[in-house]
Chains A and B, each alone.
Chain A
Amino acid sequence: EDQVTQSPEALRLQEGESSSLNCSYTVSGLRGLFWYRQDPGKGPEFLFTLYSAGEEKEKERLKATLTKKESFLHITAPKPEDSATYLCAVQATSGTYKYIFGTGTRLKVLA
């Protein structure tokens, strides 16, 4: 069964303290892996798509990487405005139209 697991569930960082969020996935074949940011009371907002192992993408203080089993979202020198829930999702080669989401990591960055 296709599955996505995110860790940790919650993370508190001091401003400027870099860290990484993990997304482990089990799928029969990967079409794409997505990262989203979700602020309280709002819908998820797209960040990145990764397609194959070894791929990396960056946006401001965020960098997403992909291996055959997991993806990492690296946050470098975070600021309080980076506080949000970060969601990972995969689209498998089977069940083409379906996206499978993890439960997310709640990030709090303290000033």
Chain B
Amino acid sequence: NAGVTQTPKFQVLKTGQSMTLQCAQDMNHEYMSWYRQDPGMGLRLIHYSVGAGITDQGEVPNGYNVSRSTTEDFPLRLLSAAPSQTSVYFCASSLTGTETYEQYFGPGTRLTVT
């Protein structure tokens, strides 16, 4: 089991560029989510998915897009990068979102927008 994998590990973008952060899990988890982690602000939920074809917004969704075409993959798209999106991004998964299960996190993507 690889668990939750994320690519790339580091990325530098210029303002206005777009890119996709990749996330995959091999645990057959229904629930997947994206967080950003900023100093002093903790982990904030961007988008989440309770299964293939179903996504919803979290606390800070603006500027980000997601889709979930398979159980395994949950990519996060930055539509037009802004310096305010400089952060560390974590993908997480859990068995389901309807029961109380722990989340498993990926290693993170450190994104810098100049």
Interfacial residues, chain A to chain B (CB-CB below 8 A): 4, 31-32, 34, 36, 41-46, 49, 51, 87, 89, 91, 96-99, 101-104
Q: Once the chains bind, are B100 and A31 in contact (CB under 8 Å)?
A: yes
CB of A98 within 8 A of CB of B48, answer: yes
State in angstroms the CA–CA spacing of A96 and B102 once bound together: 13
> In the complex the two chains form, is B97's CB within 8 Å of A87's CB?
no
A contact face: mostly helix, strand, loop, or mixed:
strand
Interface residues of B (CB under 8 A from A): 4, 31, 33, 35, 40-45, 48, 50, 56, 58, 90, 92, 97-98, 100-108
Task: Please indicate the chain B residues that have their CB under 8 angstroms from the CB of A41 in the complex.
Answer: 108
Least distance between B8 CB and chain A CB atoms (Å): 14
Provide 14 A-B residue pairs closer than 8 Å at the C-beta atoms, listed in order of the A residue: A31-B100, A34-B103, A36-B105, A44-B90, A44-B105, A49-B100, A51-B100, A98-B45, A99-B33, A101-B35, A101-B42, A102-B42, A103-B40, A103-B42
Q: What's the least CB distance linking A26 to chain B, in Å? A: 15
Q: Is the CB of B41 within 8 A of A97?
A: no
Q: In chain B, what residue has the closest Cβ to A31?
A: B100
* Contact indicator B102/A97 (Cβ below 8 Å): no
What separation, in Å, do the CA atoms of A41 and B43 have in the docked complex? 14
A106 CB to closest chain B CB (Å) equals: 11
